[in-house]
A and B are shown apart, each in its own frame.
Chain A
């Protein structure tokens, strides 16, 4: 959008207010912490945080690097996108691999084959090894009931644990990130964006996303009301039929627990229109890991998860 189109005296739109809030948070954390890092999955939320960080420090480059916890079950498109993005912004990328932990026996593969919960230990180790004291993430409060309760700056002990019953009050736009050695702070600059806000923002800012987010033809099979890609990590059972279908992903994660939705939305405007009228949350629609119980996310967060 070019500047002469904006009436700068008009009431601020929701997106402008959310963008300014996020930029303020990112600048605060970079100014007050020694070594921040952004947890980057290649998903739309972490891509949005990176875009906001670039805007916060323009014309300087983003003053921190990226950290990816690779479950070993990622889509190739996502890994390519991740590497290209780090290069595009000219910043460092560190990768912590779940596979390394499985290979040397520190972690064991779960019977159901999902690796989502296995990411927690490599994440906490990577934070300690990197000496990161602030860890940016793209979590949003509208995603889940437990996330709805979390502060924008969320203190973690040296086990990475979140204590939901004893959170620091967060007042005005004053963030208190003080912590003792061994502790670190998770920072969620887009806490107040909804899924629709993120898509509206991606459209407005013309932010590049992995192609998985847009409708494409893929060989899939149906299970629990979701469409699963046929692949090494998600094979159909005998009674499940593989079909070629136009699908897109609403979240991108571990292939073994992330399903697609049937969709014809092949570009940003079509996706935006689809999200605006959706009747199911993105996690309910496409994440098997959050269907386990009402407290699935709370339990993982207390344990040090993203």
Chain B
């Protein structure tokens, strides 16, 4: 098989999100990144050039924002309403970019983009420094446990690339990250419009010694690279594969007569043949005797591989069951305490009857709101109602025990959806934070 230099067969993948408003120059930043990474093809360039001229904004100059604002309403209003996904690659890596809206009423879409991201780039207008929106964005990315936070301080060209002006914004950002408890954020002075420190270090900022934005994104470890060998194994069972009666054509029925495997995506850590595992809710321990894929058996599989596991014992396992490395299954609980991010205008109230979807299990729940996080002080205040776009703490009583992981230490497997049982709509995101 030939390998072209741009093949995605060997390159690793990084998912990242951008947050900030059009006023901060976010669409321009994204457009610039795509353009300079040569991810914009000729017909797209031509279409944007034509539309830029027709609309006459910026004196008809090429408007990078038009590359990313995909909906008619967005182009008409000059705002970003919903997350747009963009794809580009360099010689070192493939990227999936979730371009998130910055307007307050669309925070839910920012949460959508950020929950799948390995890294988030928060954009600040260097002239304005830290704003209420910056505070909200950094709080959300911190609470969601985003592994890599990058603060791009944009429009540095409008401050004449002045080192002291940058240092002032830098000090503001550092004081904010210290206040909300965010340990490490990368700060980069950029000009999306002029292209400074986007792909290559800029000669205009000789006082900045860190990497350009794209260089940083190329070298950050993805969540999987970070955690596959650190966290204990966990898999949420999606379905049980039993081919009896419906074997794929061409396979030998004799060979698969008694075949049974539990299918799912490795949620955390790594599993190997011979490993002992605990099974919830059966409460039993067994051994993994096979890791199957359609390409053949594997000796070991790490997050986020989709596999089918064969187990030594005939234990009751079905959709919603959880497999975990022996001795590491979180304590199954009927009452969970969680940080919640309500999305709808109705918000979330004490007494609300909801559905909770965690991993592959969906159970009933009753909400008790405990407190609301004051974004100005980052402190919780007692509350019984949370409005859309608030961040708060709630207790949820569940109709069945769930072994939720602690989101602070085990990421994705501690996250859940709060669903309206009547309309089916998603009311809120929740992250299990027993110790907070």
Partner-B contacts on A (CB < 8 A): 1-3, 8-9, 11-21, 23-24, 27-28, 30-31, 54-63, 88-90, 141-142, 144-146, 148-149, 164-165, 167-174, 176, 178-180, 191-192, 194, 196-197, 200, 203-204, 269, 272-273, 276-281, 284-285, 294-295, 298
Contacts and interface: CB of A to CB of B under 8 A. Distances in A.
Most chain A Cβ neighbours within 10 Å, of B11, B82, B243: B82
A11 B246 CA distance: 35
B319 interface: yes
Nearest to A23: B306
Contacts, number: 238
A23 B292 CA distance: 13
Contact of A14 (B13, B265, B306): B13
B175 interface: no
Interface in B139-165: none
A174 B416 contact: yes
11 contacts: A9-B300, A14-B11, A23-B306, A56-B263, A59-B243, A176-B426, A192-B87, A196-B6, A203-B9, A279-B42, A284-B47
B435 interface: no
Given A3-B295, A176-B417, A169 B41 contact: no
A174 B357 contact: yes
A172 to B, nearest CB: 5
Contacts of A168: 425-426
A27 B239 contact: yes
Given A21-B306, A279-B42, 9 more contacts: A3-B296, A13-B9, A23-B265, A31-B239, A55-B293, A59-B243, A164-B81, A176-B417, A203-B1
Contact of B112 (A30, A165, A169): A169
A197 B306 CA distance: 18
A273 B416 CA distance: 42
B419 A178 contact: yes
Given A14-B13, A273-B4, A171 B44 contact: no
A290 to B, nearest CB: 10
Nearest to A291: B43
A298 B75 CA distance: 12
A57 B241 contact: yes
Contacts of B251: 59
Nearest 7 A/B pairs, CB to CB: A178-B424, A284-B43, A145-B70, A58-B294, A55-B294, A23-B306, A60-B243
Contacts of B116: 171-173
B424 A179 contact: yes
B41 A278 contact: yes
Contact of B225 (A11, A24, A165): A11
